[in-house]
Amino acid sequence: DAEITQSPRHKITETGRQVTLACHQTWNHNNMFWYRQDLGHGLRLIHYSYGVQDTNKGEVSDGYSVSRSNTEDLPLTLESAASSQTSVYFCASSEGLNTEAFFGQGTRLTVV
Amino acid sequence: QKEVEQDPGPLSVPEGAIVSLNCTYSNSAFQYFMWYRQYSRKGPELLMYTYSSGNKEDGRFTAQVDKSSKYISLFIRDSQPSDSATYLCAVGPPTASGGSYIPTFGRGTSLIVHP
């Protein structure tokens, strides 16, 4: 069955370190998204991509970057981790306009 | 003002109750309306999906859209403890957006159905 997987599921890192969260989908979807979810804020869009070599900033993109070298993967990099980036991160993918977004299981990141 | 407003709750109801979950949105051009369900420590999953105004029913769940008041609702009949989850509303992009594919989510409402 097609799926979307995130790794790692849990990560503890130190302030200032670079961290990369992986997202891999096997649906061959063009659209991929990264969200963070925090109490009181809901899901906030970090970055998104409409296809290979396409990346765009979302609502809360400062301190994060993504790259899309193939259809299946959209890794999220925290260039210099900060305590404010402690959160649960969700990757999602969708096929086209207004179709269902499929979410991964999430990565719980703690920056100490 | 956020594009989608949703009361975070928690909403606690007894088993068997009818549950009403609601969202308001600000952009009258939105055409697609979705409800996602998120269990604890899981990713959101699409529950209901409606286009434009009207009702859509799926088993115990009914999604309702009132575009005149920019109000969307999810009703759960005969609620069960297994319905305990966070429910997120989401709206599809404006039709004049030029191809934006990004749903906008509400904050989610935490629902607790107790036996």
B23 CA to centre of own chain: 7
Kindly tell me the burial class for residue A108, based on how many C-beta atoms sit within 10 Å of its own C-beta (0-12, 13-18, 19 or more).
middle
Mean pLDDT comparison of B63-67, B75-79, B100-104, highest-scoring range: B75-79
| Residues 1-30, chain A, touching B (beta carbon < 8 A) | none
| Residues 38-97, chain B, touching A (beta carbon < 8 A) | 41-46, 49, 88, 92-93
Strands B11-14 and B109-114: parallel
At residue B1 the predicted structure's pLDDT band, cuts being 50, 70 and 90, is low
Asked if omega into B10 is within 30° of 0 (cis), the reply is yes
Quick one: average pLDDT of A22-42?
Answer: 93
